[in-house]
Amino acid sequence: MQATATVLVYSDDANTREQVRLATGRRPAPDVPVVEFVECATVPAVLKELDRGGIDVCVLDGEAVPMGGMGVCRQIKDEIFDCPPVLLLIGRPQDAWLATWSRAEAAVALPVEPVEFASALASLLRRKPALSA
């Protein structure tokens, strides 16, 4: 059986969630597992999925409304024990300092550029020893 990684994607915008899925494909790099997605359009859904467990990486939309991914990231880093690494989608490259404030492990600018996004996601997936393909 092939290993899988579970990636939570939070955005109120279905197009942004689709960009993430398309940029990832089945796996973002040959040396990481196949990815399964859990999509969330609201913060309560994100918190419910994280409480359930089994999430390997979170991708959070910094431009989501009413609560952006930066605030969600900061909250889950404070509240979730052993919080998964976070890849933050930011509105512009100049917002990278806000990603640092939110304690995200990585950030890429919107719209999602597939090669940059896949590389950042693969890097976070490699941090989990149990996920080596």
41-99: pLDDT as tens digits: 999 999 999 999 999 999 999 999 999 999 999 999 999 999 999 999 999 888 888 88
pLDDT at 132 over 60: no
- Type of residue numbered 94: Q
* Domain 4-131: assigned CATH number: 3.40.50.2300
Q: Residue ranges of the domains in the chain?
A: 4-131
Per-residue confidence at 3, pLDDT binned at 50, 70, 90? confident
Residue range 98-125: average pLDDT? Answer: 95
User: Average pLDDT in the 11-16 region?
Assistant: 97
Lowest mean pLDDT among 33-37, 88-92, 109-113, 128-132: 128-132
